[in-house]
Amino acid sequence: MSATVIDGKAFAATVREKVAVHVARLNEEHGITPGLAVVLVGEDPASQVYVRSKGKMTVEVGMNSYEHKLAIDTSEADLLALIDTLNTDPAVHGILVQLPLPKHLDEDLVINSIDPAKDVDGFHISNVGLLGTGQKSMVPCTPLGCLMMLRDHHGSLSGMDAVVIGRSNIVGKPMAQLLLGDSCTVTIAHSRTKDLPDVVRRADIVVAAVGRPEMVPGDWIKPGATVIDVGINRIDAAEKGEGKTRLVGDAHYESCAAVAGAITPVPGGVGPMTIACLLANTVTACCRANGLEEPEGLTA
């Protein structure tokens, strides 16, 4: 068996096109332009790249982009004051504070200071609780992207057996909640799960989000299962003549692709969907703030 490759890059482009259509409609019919504010504290190189990419794509889909770059020694009080200003700004519909934050800042305190209705990362404790109880919420972008790709590939997920490997608050737990919402039977597995290979082999859907390079080999995968690989790991590839490092997922791509029915590659799978879903969440937040119908196909 040779797995169907789920092209996240192409799918993300489609999502961004849908977002752009909704943004144009909001502007034309209601005179509203969704606005996304991104706050970056410090000069972490990876974070700077992410923020630039988010800003570029925000503008490309017709939304307003507001970037706030703060010094690494910015006080907690000053950061909270900025967030309070953004919370009350009607032109800002989505707020994202780029993580990780410098160590002197309390990430939980900062995230929970964001207006939950503008929390387009879906990390606020109120959104976590709403998602966990099956109510309308802002959904974390990476799990939302995974869900979109699964729905697109399978149609209905009802009754399917899903295993999520990883229990993080950012991916693992919300992913499980989203799959439950689509009537999957869900197991959250992790590094201490007994007989982990056997647990994974039962799954029709495997979401690998544990943060360990190529942890999941092909002989863990049920023939025909769908593998969604959330991992992005840099490993030394010099001995293979591929340069100093290469990107790999949490699943061993070649062996898993030989068994699975469908699989996301790394790179080019889940990664591109995260920013696309951030833009989708901003449009959703804008519609909710203005009492308008939410965009179809861009929310959970």
Q: Which residues are catalytic?
A: 54, 98, 121
Q: Which among 143, 145, 115, 110 has a CA at the least distance from the CA of 127?
A: 115
Closest CA to 28 of 57, 64, 62: 62
Secondary structure string (H, E, C) spanning the chain: CCCEECCHHHHHHHHHHHHHHHHHHHHHHHCCCCEEEEEEECCCHHHHHHHHHHHHHHHHCCCEEEEEEECCCCCHHHHHHHHHHHHCCCCCCEEEECCCCCCCCCHHHHHCCCCHHHECCCCCHHHHHHHHCCCCCCCCHHHHHHHHHHHHHHCCCCCCEEEEECCCCCCHHHHHHHHHHCCCEEEEECCCCCCHHHHHHCCCEEEECCCCCCCECHHHCCCCCEEEECCCEEEECHHHCCCCEEEECCECHHHHHCCCCEECCCCCCCHHHHHHHHHHHHHHHHHHHCCCCCCCCCCC
CA proximity to 206, closest of 260, 144, 265, 279: 260
- Are 148 and 276 in contact, with CB atoms under 8 Å apart? no
